Every structure is written in C-alpha cells, then in structure tokens.
Amino acid sequence: MKMPTVNEDVNVNRSDSVSSSVKYRAHSTLQNASVGQRVQVQQIISTPVFEARLQSMGFVPGVPINVVSKHRKSMIVEVLRSRLSLSAEAASAITVRVS
C-alpha cells in the first residue's frame, strides 16, 4: 500500500456502520520539518499529561516554530523566542503546517 504524502487526500475504507468511506488529509509532524523551515503548530497527539507538558513549553496551536537543527534522535527548535531540544518522539507528537 502506498503511504500518503503530506497534505495528500486519502480515501479510507471502513467496515463499521458509521461510514463506508472516509476522506481525511494526512498531516505532517514537526519531526518531518527541515532545518531552517518555519512551521505552525496544529495540534498535539499524545497522552493528556505529555500534551500538557508540551503546551507548557509553548507548543500550542498557531504558534510559529523555527527548526534550528536536527540530529538522529533529537532536534532543536525555536519557539516563543526560546530554543528547546526535543526528542524525535516528542517532535512526532506535534502536527504542523508550513507557514
């Protein structure tokens, strides 16, 4: 099965009684952003505790983020005039759109 690319419309067939076909838009995560790219937070997809932790660090919908550097298992981003290091796992929980 071909994996959807960022912002590609995808039809998903479901076998439940709610709907036989659902259309959704694939989203990009902060982990997929490139160095030097400016993105905006869309939402956080994680546990409530981890979501609250990321929000306390400034990762709330609409906030711009600059990707400063990326490493194999972490990245440095600038959010609200602060530079923060995030694990790849944390960055993968933050959906973004290019601003």
pLDDT digits (tens, 9 = 90+) for 39-70: 999 999 999 999 999 999 999 999 999 999 99
pLDDT at position 7 over 50:
no
DSSP per-residue codes, 5-52: PTT-EEEEE--SSS-SEEEEE--EEGGGPPTT-EEEEEEE-S-HHHHH
pLDDT at 79 over 50: yes
Range of the structural domain that residue 54 is part of: 28-98
Q: Identify the pLDDT of residue 99.
A: 82
Distance, CA of 99 to CA of 93 (rounded, Å): 18
Domain count of the chain? 1
Residue 26: the pLDDT is: 52
Tell whether 32 is covered by a domain: yes
- Whether the pLDDT of residue 11 is over 80: the answer is no
Q: Are 46 and 95 in contact (CB under 8 A)?
A: no
Return the CATH number at 55.
2.30.30.90
Instruction: Say if 61 falls within a structural domain.
Output: yes
What pTM did the predictor assign? 0.72
Taking 90 as the threshold, does the pLDDT of residue 4 lie above it? no
Among positive and negative, which fits the CA dihedral 66, 69, 71, 75?
A: negative
**Does a structural domain hold residue 12?**
no
